[in-house]
Structure 1
Amino acid sequence: MSKSKTITTLNRSLGFWSSLSLVVGTVIGSGIFFKQSSVLDSAGSTGSALLAWFFGGVITLTAGLTVAEVGAQMPHTGGLYAYMNELYGKFWGFLSGWMQIAVYGPAIIASIAAYLGILLVGFFRLDSVWQAPLAIAVIVLIGGLNMLNNRWGAAFQIITTLGKLLPIVAIIIFGLFFGDQNAFGQSLHTVSQSTGNFGVAILATLFAYDGWILVANLGGEIKNPQKILPRAIILGVSLVLVAYTLVSYGILHFIPAETIHHLGQQTTVYFAQSAFGVIGGRLLNIGIIVSMVGCLNGKIMTFPRIVYAMARKNQLPFSKQLAYLHPKTYEPLVATSMIIAYASIMILFFNPDRLSDLCIFTVYCFYVAAFVGIFLLRKRNIGQPRPFSTPWFPITPLIAILGALFVIVSEIGSDLSGVLLSLLIVAIGIPVYYFKKQHLYN
């Protein structure tokens, strides 16, 4: 297959609604349902908790506005990998891609699937031995769907995104109109001596907002990406910001702060059962299951594109196989199979939650570099028209950079050993890069 033919087989068939659903769907997974207690515990009061969710969304929105300008000028498959490659060269581009496909992407898929397996076992009252098989079965089925034409994965993403909005809307409406607690004025005396603070609370929300950039991995398959990609990222992040803030307000307006602290991750289930009875709790579980399935679909749809983009440049072992596209579905079948297999192994033998946590540090290091890229592009392309311009420049990208630096510093302070291990994982890619580079030119 010639190089030109390989390029043309990735058709630009995804429109605005598919792109928007990917942004919303890959962000809203389980975080908004299970992070309420941890954010409140760190913030110390309901008012501070609401501000944490809001400011976390604002920081994410500034990041989205910044990347929208960068991505509109680089509408290529690979997202962050492609940006780093063009902004800083092949070496840093490779390391950003390596980090995402070696651990970050498969670990996120594995962690979401593993937790989904726990929910499915509880929902159907099965033995816990079925957790891992169910988790693997789900990602295999979703992976199979994404081996068909990308329209199928995009359609499934739209359906699951609409489905996950139902429990969110129910929580917001019931909390707003039937709650009688002071959502702004409750202090959490139980944890008044906690080491948590407002900064830690914002950090927890930023993790819940993460994933919005993954739609950029499909830049080569989006129709008119110069216009659609910025609109999808900005509107998608804005919708998530509003949803997260209103859901948090609804829960805090309905349940006393001290009760939320003691309930922990069961807060949202308690809310549903109190509001709608036992059947409400089960319906909410269905909503969360749909939410997580949609989140998995978005990630399984996007991460193989990084593998494909790197393999096309012959930067990975077995690049010829990983760059294969099916002649009828135009999908990277081998790359998708690799991600599925890798995630399945993590479910069976590792703690994927820990692995994904380790990579947060490195992801945000590359985020900072991508945000700085907006200044580099404006300097390089003086006088040239831009498909999209970030509003309130340079304030917006500076807020995004400061927010990412906040995450990096917080991670160093709270988990230095994890930071060093994550850097080691990235460093393993260095000899791979130079081996492939030497092999390419010899």
Structure 2
Amino acid sequence: MGDIKDTNDGSEKVTLKRQVGLVSCVALIIGTIIGSGIFISPVYVLQQTQSVGMSLVIWFLGGVLAMIGALCFAELGTMIPKSGGTYVYLMESMGPIPAFLFSWTCALILMPASVSAIALSFGYYMADPLYPNHDCEDSSRATYEAASKIFACLCILILTFINCVSVKAATIVQNVLTLAKLLALAIIIFIGFIRIFQGHTKYLQPKLSFEGSAPNLFAYGIAFYQSLWAYDGWNQLNFVTEEIKNPYRNLPYGILIGIPLVTVVYLLTNIAYFTVLSPEEMLMSSAVAVTFAERTLGPMAWIMPFLVCCSTVGAVNGCLFTAGRLPFVTAREGHMMDILAMVHVRYYTPLPSIVLTGGIAILMLLPSDFSALVNYFSFAAWLFYGLTILALILLRVQQPNAKRPIKIPIFIPIIGLVASIYLVLAPIINEPTLEIFYALLFILSGLLFYFPFVHFGLRIPYIMRPTQTFLQKLMFVAPSGYSASVERIEDKD
């Protein structure tokens, strides 16, 4: 497959290269999903479920729900083999307005906030040994916060640079760091098995483990959010479909291998936690994996924070790799500035789009506490996931004869749609807050930009064109196009 394609008007456009194989697909899914969540979220899941048994059920169902969503995305991704994920599917089934509102919310808030939050987790783990008394002294606390943000900023800057200059280097980083995070979880699981054989199963016995389970059905919606935060990334492979070798094969296989593996690993990890920590001790821990290591590894306990740092760096790298493709595809459809649809003429990466995502993520490090911002929009992610699953059902009706290399049973998207409705409504019913109203307001505010600049094509003279030309020369990028013939050639290989 060439890198420069002739268009119908005789001009040439740079296209993305297909460099992501099956191993990299699996590593991208595992590496993006496994970040800081499994090392922190078990505490918050237990807070909501109030029992060990129900927390394990939530972790299992979270994996099932991630698989249902991923299977829906696999059908859509092989039917519409373009990068962009949800944006492309909403555009195809529901038109430009829902697609634009998704890209508006996701590109400007959700994805950069995810990158920033995970990078800040890395910063905390790096700064923690440098400021051991940060919990006791106010001055030390302020310095600790500043150091954490500096480490997080460096993490984002370095990984943004790697993703800008080489797709191959980014995937190699992802593969290596995926092994590091799996090693961390393997240590926890191995110790857990030893503890089970030694008889430390008090909190795992069925009769005891379900005692005190939360009676409020809608409270489990919040618990699902916590577990699904740890599973977040199950859909990221669809954002890079155009860079996957033989996507009809590698996209579904990557999903079918990656997500069940993550689900099994998460369940075994949570079981291992409860062989060492009581529910009360877990609820008092701010980083359960580190507490686990301190109880079991003795002088080697330092290895766990190190491996967790590797895990968070891998998650940031995976998020940047996939998140940078959304503004690229959105701009190619005319929904964002043209510069974001351009590709570096030497590296064949969507450099402007990646720089935008990394830049917003760094800006989100500036406030003293932006984690609330992520929580405000957590339900919005499942609002759009639900719309995407609905898009699959609509496309079955709208385009019944379209080529579908993967066609899942209809009950799977129906279950996914019902689950999405529950996840959107449960937090609203259980804990109605103004933050949800603010999130909806932000989503709808995208219409203020859509109608003048997209629908009516308004351009600000003497500003937009010179600015784009300057940035194009500065970044050494050229317009990019999508060629359907690439898919036919790739399908034969």
TM-score (norm 2): 0.83
Greater shift in the superposed pair: 236-245 or 119-128? 119-128
Amino acid of the residue matched to residue 28 of structure 2?
A: L
Q: 272, 276, 283: which one pairs with 2:293?
A: 272
Paired residues in the alignment total 436
CA contact (8 A) 1:181 1:256 kept: no
Shift of 1:385: 4.3
Match of 1:169 in 2: 186
Amino acid of the residue matched to residue 171 of structure 1?
A: I
CA contact (8 A) 2:29 2:234 kept: yes
Match of 1:84 in 2: 90
Match of 2:154 in 1: 137
Shift of 1:411: 2.7
- 1:246-395 equivalences under 5 Å are 246-261=268-283, 263-280=284-301, 282-316=302-336, 319-349=337-367, 351-390=369-408, 393-395=409-411
CA contact (8 A) 1:6 1:325 kept: no
Q: What is the alpha-carbon distance in structure 2 between the residues aligned to residue 194 and residue 379 of structure 1?
A: 37
CA contact (8 A) 1:29 1:291 kept: yes
- 1:169-188 equivalences under 5 Å are 169-179=186-196, 180-182=200-202, 183-185=204-206, 186-187=208-209
Matched, 1:219 2:241: yes
| Aligned-pair identity (%) | 27
Q: Give the alignment's Cα RMSD to 1 decimal.
A: 2.4
Pair 1:142–1:77, CA change in 2 (3 A): same
CA contact (8 A) 2:20 2:244 kept: yes
Pair 1:340–1:199, CA change in 2 (3 A): closer
Q: What is the alpha-carbon distance in structure 1 between the residues aligned to residue 12 and residue 443 of structure 2?
A: 29
Shift of 1:258: 2.6
Q: What is the alpha-carbon distance in structure 2 between the residues aligned to residue 301 and residue 338 of structure 1?
A: 12
Matched, 1:401 2:421: no
Shift of 1:204: 2.1
Shift of 1:252: 1.2
CA contact (8 A) 2:53 2:210 kept: no
Q: What is the alpha-carbon distance in structure 2 between the residues aligned to residue 194 and residue 374 of structure 1?
A: 32
Matched, 1:109 2:115: yes
Shift of 1:168: 0.4
Q: What is the alpha-carbon distance in structure 2 between the residues aligned to residue 379 and residue 399 of structure 1?
A: 18
Amino acid of the residue matched to residue 15 of structure 1?
A: G
Pair 1:347–1:3, CA change in 2 (3 A): farther
Amino acid of the residue matched to residue 422 of structure 1?
A: A
Structure 2 gap segments, 5+ residues each: 133-142, 460-493
Q: What is the alpha-carbon distance in structure 2 between the residues aligned to residue 193 and residue 264 of structure 1?
A: 24
Q: Deviations over 1:132-152 (max 9, x none)?
A: 111111100000000112111
CA contact (8 A) 2:33 2:233 kept: yes
Shift of 1:378: 2.0
CA contact (8 A) 1:29 1:292 kept: yes
Q: What is the alpha-carbon distance in structure 2 between the residues aligned to residue 293 and residue 6 of structure 1?
A: 37
Q: Deviations over 1:20-43 (max 9, x none)?
A: 111111111111111222222222
Pair 1:342–1:350, CA change in 2 (3 A): farther
Q: What is the alpha-carbon distance in structure 2 between the residues aligned to residue 107 and residue 21 of structure 1?
A: 22
- 1:390-429 equivalences under 5 Å are 390=408, 393-413=409-429, 414-429=431-446
Shift of 1:439: 4.8
Match of 2:20 in 1: 14
Greater shift in the superposed pair: 377-386 or 404-413? 377-386
Greater shift in the superposed pair: 269-278 or 160-169? 269-278
Structure 1 gap segments, 5+ residues each: none
Q: What is the alpha-carbon distance in structure 2 between the residues aligned to residue 389 and residue 425 of structure 1?
A: 35
Structure number having the greater helix percentage: 1
CA contact (8 A) 2:163 2:170 kept: yes
Q: What is the alpha-carbon distance in structure 1 between the residues aligned to residue 21 and residue 389 of structure 2?
A: 25
Q: What is the alpha-carbon distance in structure 2 between the residues aligned to residue 315 and residue 32 of structure 1?
A: 36
Q: What is the alpha-carbon distance in structure 2 between the residues aligned to residue 181 and residue 6 of structure 1?
A: 65
